[in-house]
Amino acid sequence: MELPKNFDDRTWWILLCIVGGLIAVGSAPAKFIPGFFVGLGLLLFGLGQWQDRPISSARMAGAIVTKYLWAPSALGIILDIVGVLLFLGGIGWLVAFGP
């Protein structure tokens, strides 16, 4: 599988949102609660990172440089914390009680 030519690997948080959403949606119909928590946690953490990393473009030495600087916000931090707790809770549930 080849990635698109315009794929920006610096935006890993978008990929995390997609993967988390797919895991959560795939786990819901099967009533696989630990998988749903893991997927929802990844989705929320990815959304928090997306919120905290705005695009910043500048012209340097005749070229346009795009950066994703860390600029934390209250909403982003809350999404990150809730996402990590849900992810760890899902993993903990899976380890403690099995699938």
In a domain, 51, yes or no: yes
pLDDT at 78: 96
Give domain status of residue 4, yes or no.
no
Domains in the chain: how many in total? 1
Two structure tokens written together for 1: 């599988």
Residue 80 covered by a domain:
yes
Rounded to an integer, what distance in angstroms lies between the CA atom of residue 5 and that of residue 83?
Answer: 30
Q: Is residue 29 part of a domain?
A: yes
Residue at 27 is within a domain: yes
CA 44 to chain centre: 6
Residue 2 domain-assigned (yes or no): no
Provide the pLDDT for residue 60. Answer: 82
Q: Are 75 and 44 in contact (CB under 8 A)?
A: no
CB atoms within 10 A of CB 59: 8
- Do 44 and 86 meet the contact criterion of CB atoms below 8 Å apart? yes
Quote the pLDDT of residue 46.
93
User: Residue 99's pLDDT is what?
Assistant: 76
Inside any domain, residue 1: no
Its domain, for residue 52, covers: 12-97
| pLDDT tens, residue order, the chain (99 aa) | 566 666 666 678 888 999 999 999 999 888 899 999 999 999 999 999 989 988 788 888 888 877 778 889 999 999 999 999 999 999 999 999 887
pLDDT at 6: 65
For residue 68, tell me if it sits in a domain: yes
Distance of alpha carbon 19 from alpha carbon 21, whole angstroms: 5
